[in-house]
């Protein structure tokens, strides 16, 4: 799929560093510094004392700023490129704005 200008991308980030303060915060700061909005973050245990972080962000994986941010995250978490599964792009898709519709309906109900 190519970018339509109103897209979202879903990532899975699996830091190799475990139990060190700031790993997630430093990773999220990369997106913040590039003005990339994160819509959703979920953490799940990986079964080996670590965590998988699922992140939905605004923008398409082929957008220059998104591609750049993902490259920086990959490099910061795996500078020697030994673990390609550290950051997985699960896909990009059209933004359906379903959250906006729910918020609008909730506001009208109140």
**Looking at the predicted structure, is the pLDDT value of residue 14 above 90?**
yes
Within a domain: residue 50? yes
Least confident of 19-28, 59-68, 101-110: 101-110
Q: Which two tokens stand for residue 25?
A: 């915060």
Global model pTM greater than 0.85: no
* Structural domain containing residue 47: 7-109
Q: What is the CATH number of the domain that holds 100?
A: 3.30.70.260
| Tally of domains within the chain | 1
**Looking at the predicted structure, is the pLDDT value of residue 2 above 80?**
no
Within a domain: residue 1? no
Q: Are 19 and 49 in contact (CB under 8 A)?
A: yes
Q: Which two tokens stand for residue 68?
A: 């750049």
Within a domain: residue 2? no
Rg value, the chain, Cα: 15
Within a domain: residue 71? yes
Q: Which two tokens stand for residue 98?
A: 């379903």
**pLDDT at residue 50, as a whole number:** 87
Output 100 or 73, whichever has higher pLDDT: 73
- pLDDT bracket for residue 1 (50, 70, 90): low
């Amino acid at each position: 799929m190519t970018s339509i200008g109103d897209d979202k991308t879903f990532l899975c980030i699996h830091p190799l560093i475990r139990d060190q303060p700031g790993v997630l915060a430093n990773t999220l700061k990369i997106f913040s510094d590039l003005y990339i909005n994160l819509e959703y973050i979920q953490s799940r245990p990986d079964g080996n004392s670590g965590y998988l972080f699922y992140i939905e962000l605004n923008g398409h994986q082929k957008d220059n700023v998104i591609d750049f941010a993902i490259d920086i995250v990959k490099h910061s978490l795996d500078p020697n490129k030994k673990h390609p599964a550290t950051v997985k792009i699960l896909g990009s898709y059209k933004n359906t704005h379903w959250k906006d519709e729910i918020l609008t309906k909730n506001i009208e109900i109140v």
